Structure 1
Amino acid sequence: MNLLSEYNSYKDGDLRKDFKPIPLDKRMARFPFNKAAQVRIISYNLNLKRSSASTYAPLPPPPKTKEDSARITRYYDSIKINKRFELREAIDHSAFEGIQESRTLTSAEVSELTDVIYNTCEKYYIGVVSTSGCFFPRNAILFYDKNDKVFAFFEICFECSGIESLPRKMLEPIEACEYLYPELEKFFKSKGLTTEFIERK
């Protein structure tokens, strides 16, 4: 049996018998890990539903009484609370108040993270990589330089299994297969971060 016919005998998602994990030194040699002085994982937009994040709310009428003024204050406070956090904008303006959860990873945790990112999809036979259009991210991996500035990031939407990066194309399409997201979400949760919408009570 030649290699092509052997490959064609497997279905998408079958485990590869010839899988050999990429060793740590090679994983750490890849950008952005090779340039990072610090790696941090974060959560944001946890209190926003995808559908409500872009809903336009009309401005209230001018206040006439003290009660009106109090109501308008509550209105503007709710807009601030419900404003969608945009990671690129936050980095550009060094305004990170919208981050709700954050954890700086240890060396061992960075090693664990690289294993998830670079070795998960390699385990499987994958023919087609599909993407969803929703992309409402609540989590990200931030890479900091020695001056404590973010120079790269992965932004992740676990609801639609989507990942975007800056700089673009830090992952090959095949490395962002559907099997990556459950493992990556498990990693975030194991470090105490939330990955899904939280209903306000």
Structure 2
Amino acid sequence: MKPKLLYSLFFIILLGCWTSTECFAIGTDTVKAHKPKRVVKHISPHVSYLRESIKGYKPWFDNCTFTNQYTVAQRLKKYPFSKAVKILAVSFNGGAPPNPEIIIDRPKPQDTMSYREQQLYKGFTIINDSLDYSTLYEVKTLNQDQIIRLTNIMYNAVYKKILANTADPGSSCYNPRNAFVFLNKKGRVIDYLEICFECEEYRSKYGRLTIGDNCTQKFGMIKKCFIDAGIKHGTIDLSWK
């Protein structure tokens, strides 16, 4: 081929490349060069920092944490677990405070009430260390696994961090509907842990029994113990509200 013709052909090819970007992809990874950019999804900080968005989040993890401070054996040696032969989870009418020895005077039930309704009207009743079962809506006996779980919540669930000014503000209401009742071998009441999930307050027979550190989610964990034991009134059934 003549040099003059060769130069003309080269000039035509060069002119075509000048009007197209395809020639400049020669020697490069053309697939990579044309790959669309990955769009980064920006999440609002108001959403990304929500506790619920964390994988594995549980509501009771907010300020409660479990420790290994007490073993199962150590927990079961604590009062009143060490003395109880049987532990009941119960529900009842939340109309009046309990009294371990006497029934406090209450308005007389209407004449239209049946005997059963009159008994339930009394609420949680213990007389001379004897539990009046006729005043209870539901009664479930805790098995060993449920007892161990309860002790773990009471004694090993603590604050992640103790903050200043964490005093209990108290509550204007107290209408308990659930309780754990601790019985000895004669069926007598050693103690009870009565709980109002509505206002998150509790009481026991002599004030010796507490739920330990009252981290925010502890009542929710204890309520779950009642639910899993089969207690609905005061936990799932909220028709009384």
- The alpha-carbon distance between structure 1 residues 26 and 94, as it changes in their structure 2 partners (threshold 3 A), is closer
Partners of 1:58 and 1:21 in 2: how far apart? 49
Q: Distance in 1 between matches of 2:233 and 2:117?
A: 22
Could you say which residue in structure 2 is the equivalent of 1:62? none
1:109 aligns with 2:179: no
TM-score by structure 2 length? 0.57
Which residue type is aligned with residue 187 of structure 1? C
User: Is 1:193 the equivalent of 2:241?
Assistant: no
Aligned AA (2:88): R
Distance in 2 separating the partners of 1:58 and 1:150: 27
TM-score (norm 1): 0.68
Distance 1:25 1:77 in 2: 44
Please give the residue correspondences for 1:28-43 in structure 2 after superposition, counting only pairs within 5 Å.
Answer: 28-43=76-91
Aligned mates of 2:116, 2:135 — CA distance in 1: 14
Structure 1 pair 14/141, CA: closer, same or farther in 2 (3 Å)?
Answer: closer
Return closer, same or farther for 1:195/1:161 CA change in 2, 3 Å cut-off.
farther
Counterpart position of 1:146: 185
SS in 1 for 2:121: coil
Q: Cα distance, 1:125 vs. partner?
A: 2.0
Question: Identity across aligned pairs (percent)?
Answer: 22
The Cα offsets for residues 122-149 of structure 1, whole Å up to 9 and x where unpaired, read as 1522331413231111000011111111
Residue in structure 1 matched with residue 70 of structure 2 by the alignment:
22
Answer yes or no: is the 8 Å Cα contact 1:40–1:141 preserved in 2. Answer: yes
Secondary structure, counterpart of 2:82 in structure 1: helix
Residues 55 and 165 from structure 1, CA distance in 2 versus in 1: closer, same or farther, beyond 3 angstroms? closer
CA distance change for structure 1 residues 111 and 14 in 2, over 3 Å: closer, same or farther? closer
Corresponding residue SS for 1:97: helix
Runs of 4+ deviating beyond 4 Å = 13-16, 54-59, 75-79, 90-94
Query: How far is the alpha carbon of 1:21 from its aligned partner?
Result: 4.6
Q: Distance in 1 between matches of 2:191 and 2:151?
A: 15
Asked if structure 1 preserves the Cα contact closer than 8 Å seen for 2:129 and 2:189, the reply is: no
Question: Which one has more relative contact order, counting CA pairs under 8 Å at least 6 apart?
Answer: 1
What one-letter code is carried by the residue in structure 2 that aligns with 1:45? N
Report the Cα distance in structure 1 between the residues aligned to 2:116 and 2:139, rounded to whole angstroms.
Answer: 23
1:178 aligns with 216
Q: Which runs of 5+ in 1 are unaligned?
A: 1-12, 49-53, 60-71
Counterpart residue type for residue 135 of structure 2 = G
Distance 1:55 1:147 in 2: 30
CA distance in 1, matches of 2:204, 2:106: 26
State how far apart, in whole Å, the 1-side matches of 2:160 and 2:80 are: 24
Distance in 2 of aligned mates of 1:97 and 1:169:
27
Tell me, in whole angstroms, the C-alpha distance in 1 between the residues paired with 2:147 and 2:109. 45
| Matched residue SS, 1:160 | coil
Instruction: Count residues in correspondence.
Output: 166
Give 1:14 deviation, angstroms: 4.3
AA of the residue aligned to 1:117:
M
Asked if the contact 1:43–1:193 (Cα under 8 Å) also holds between the matched residues in 2, the reply is yes
